[in-house]
Amino acid sequence: MRQTRRYSVQKSDELNVWISLSDLMAGSLLILSLMSFLFFALTILSKKKEGLPLDVPPIIIIPDDRAFRFPVGSAQLSQPLRQYIWGSLTQTIVTNRRKYRIDTIEVIGHTDGQPNQIPNGNLDSLLENSVAAKRLDSLIPSSNVDLGLMRALAITIELYKVQTKKYELKGLQFRAYSAGQLYLPNGSFALPDRSPDNSRRRIEVRFIRSATTKVMK
């Protein structure tokens, strides 16, 4: 009887320990859940207080279709593409500027993986002066990265022209970048593929709220 009683006491002690641990874990999870909820709520309240939108703006894709296609190795705008910039794209920018309080438009040029066959590129020597003069016809790309940048710049320069005519675009900054052939339309890194693929040739237009730049030391 004594042995049985001792065994029962040991079992009871072990059971109490596990119950205590379970209660502690449950309490910890509850505290973490409450902290996460409070952080989320404070973030929402902070955004509302600052008047910032709670959702994110869209990314506009200008595809390489027949109407908007650039000539091979060129950044020359077709007339339909120019009309699109002055019409539909400008209106989209105005709408998203109001809705998301953005102040910067990023234009990113993407190409496919076909090697650039134009020798003797000159962007390193002429890029700044060409952009300042708002003329890109003297630029010669030596790579897909160069070509993507030139095409993004062509659209950016056209948007600056629109800005001089439409007060709704006043104060916006326009920035041109190139991703070359690095990213697929779904955002993943591209594998080496040197075949032509017009689905990869595109321009992305992104709406950005600028942030304070900090230099890490």
- Which of 109, 108, 133, 138 is closest to 121 using CA atoms? 138
Kindly give the interhelix angle for 90-100 and 144-165, rounded to the nearest 10 degrees: 80
CATH 3.30.1330.60 applies to domain 59-208: yes
pLDDT tens, the chain, 217 aa long:
455 555 454 555 555 556 665 666 666 666 766 665 554 444 445 445 555 455 788 999 999 998 899 998 899 999 999 999 999 999 999 999 999 999 999 999 999 999 987 888 999 999 999 999 999 999 999 999 999 999 999 999 999 999 999 999 999 999 999 999 999 999 999 999 999 998 899 999 999 988 766 677 7
Count of beta carbons in the 10 Å neighbourhood of residue 152: 25
Q: How far apart are CA 172 and CA 103, in angstroms?
A: 5
How many whole angstroms separate alpha carbon 116 and alpha carbon 89? 29
Cβ burial of 143 (10 Å; 0-12, 13-18, 19+) is middle
CA Rg value for the chain: 28
Q: What does the alpha-carbon distance between residue 196 and residue 74 come to, in Å, rounded to a whole number? A: 16
DSSP 74-137: --PPPHHHHHHIIIIIHHHHHHHHHHH---EEEEEEE--SPPP---S--HHHHHHHHHHTT--T
- Per residue in 12-30, pLDDT (tens digit) is 555 555 666 566 666 666 6
Parallel, antiparallel or unpaired: strands 104-110 and 173-180: parallel
Question: What are the residue boundaries of the structural domains of the chain, listed by start?
Answer: 1-52, 59-208
- CA-wise closest residue to 101 among 171, 161, 199, 43: 171
- Length in residues, the chain: 217
Dist CA 150 CA 141 (whole Å): 8
**Entry pTM:** 0.73
What does the block give as tokens for 167?
A: 């007060």
CA distances from 79 to 69, 70, 138 (A): 10, 11, 20
Residues 124-167: pLDDT tens digits? 999 999 999 999 999 999 999 999 999 999 999 999 999 999 99
Residue 149 · residue 140 · CB < 8 Å: no
| Cβ contacts of 47 within 8 Å, gap of 6 or more | 53, 54
Instruction: Write out the two tokens for 136.
Output: 């890109």
